[in-house]
Amino acid sequence: MSLQDYPVTVREEAARLRELVCRLHAELPRWELVVWTAGNVSQRLRSADLFVIKPSGVGYHELTPEAMVVCDLEGRLVDGDRAPSSDTAAHAYVYAHLPDVGGVVHTHSTYATAWAARGEEIPCVLTMMADEFGGPVPVGPFALIGDDSIGRGIVQTLAGSRSPAVLMRSHGPFTVGVDARAAVKAAVMVEEVARTVHVARQLGEVTPLEQGDVDALHARYQNVYGQVASDPATPSRTTEEPA
């Protein structure tokens, strides 16, 4: 089934998300989270079981909205002139099994990937971590690219965690969010805490925060911090526009 077989509302949303996902890809090199053509951002459509993702092997300076591809939740190409990202199967599996997730990001950011190479979770020793991740950043199992094995590892690992980030062993971080912008933010934040905790450990032993403090900080950040929408039906901390 091609995108032209879907209703006009679906095609219009896909066009909007192509522009959004293209703009959000520019955030990855801006925050030094990727090199060359590595990494990818995707966002799920609200109007159909489809998502928009970067094509495989295309440089960030070459990306345009038209270059973005649309896939279904089996990872099959629905619209686009190029092959989808090599991580498409992982994104598709996450969307198929975590219905609250609307955006997925994968990077090879240096410090987060170093923790993944060690197969070690990032301990929750910072209030910023409690706020954003609700505890440690967990490590997922090793899996090869090419099928949905990485996606399975992401879903299994995040099922027992409040974290929007997982460090896939010997691979790198994957982050999720209610939309792609939220997942990009989580990718930026996981690299920041990975770097900070690494530096702190060079100075000596670090002590994890007490669980009660983590819970209180996380609840405040998720429910109180930031601007509250005037319309109760409007999400207060998400938007389809990059900051």
**Domains assigned to the chain:** 3-223 (3.40.225.10)
Where do the H-state alpha helices sit in 56-209?
88-97, 110-118, 127-133, 149-158, 180-203
User: Which amino acid is located at 120 in the chain?
Assistant: E
Find the catalytic residue in 60, 91, 93, 106: 106
From the candidates 72, 131, 198, 221, give the one annotated as an active-site residue: 131
97 noted as active-site residue: no
Residue 108 annotated to the active site: yes
pLDDT for the residue 229:
53
Determine the length of the chain.
243
pLDDT(153) > 70:
yes
Between strands 165-168 and 139-140, the pairing is: parallel
CB-based burial label for 187 (10 Å; 0-12, 13-18, 19+) = buried
198 is catalytic: no
pLDDT of amino acid 146? 87
pLDDT of residue 30: 97
Please tell me the predicted confidence (pLDDT) of residue 226: 79
Is 171 noted as a catalytic residue in this protein? yes
pLDDT tens digits for range 83-116: 999 999 999 999 999 999 999 999 999 999 999 9
Query: What mean pLDDT value characterizes the chain?
Result: 94
Annotated catalytic residue: which of 72, 79, 108, 221?
108
Residue with tokens 């690992």: 157
Task: Write b or e for each residue in 119-144: b if 16 or more Cβ atoms lie within 10 A of its Cβ, otherwise e.
Answer: eebbbbbbeebbbbbbbbbbbbbebe
The confidence band for 228, taking pLDDT boundaries of 50, 70 and 90, is low
> What whole-number distance in Å separates Cα of residue 184 and Cα of residue 25?
9
